[in-house]
Amino acid sequence: MTDYEAIGIAEGFIDCDKESKVIQAWQHLIDKGICWELQGWFGRTAYRLIEEGICTLPKDDSTLPPKGR
């Protein structure tokens, strides 16, 4: 999945009828750290998905946002 596809699925301008594909898109954005650089709701949604156990923290800590953000 490309970054563009993941953003498009998460934002809804790319149609996706499979929940597993939506989760995969969000996990991609989390793993690459992209969700922390986009509009605020991307990061808030990513944190919620992690807290709910739907997505996981990235294996690479360097993609997490700075503390206090």
Annotated domain spans of the chain: 3-57
Those residues of the chain that have pLDDT short of 70 are 62-69
pLDDT at 21: 97
Task: Give this prediction's pTM.
Answer: 0.87
pLDDT at 9: 97
Q: In sequence order, which residues have a C-beta less than 8 Å from that of residue 9 and are 6 or more positions away? A: 16, 21, 22, 25
pLDDT at 66: 61
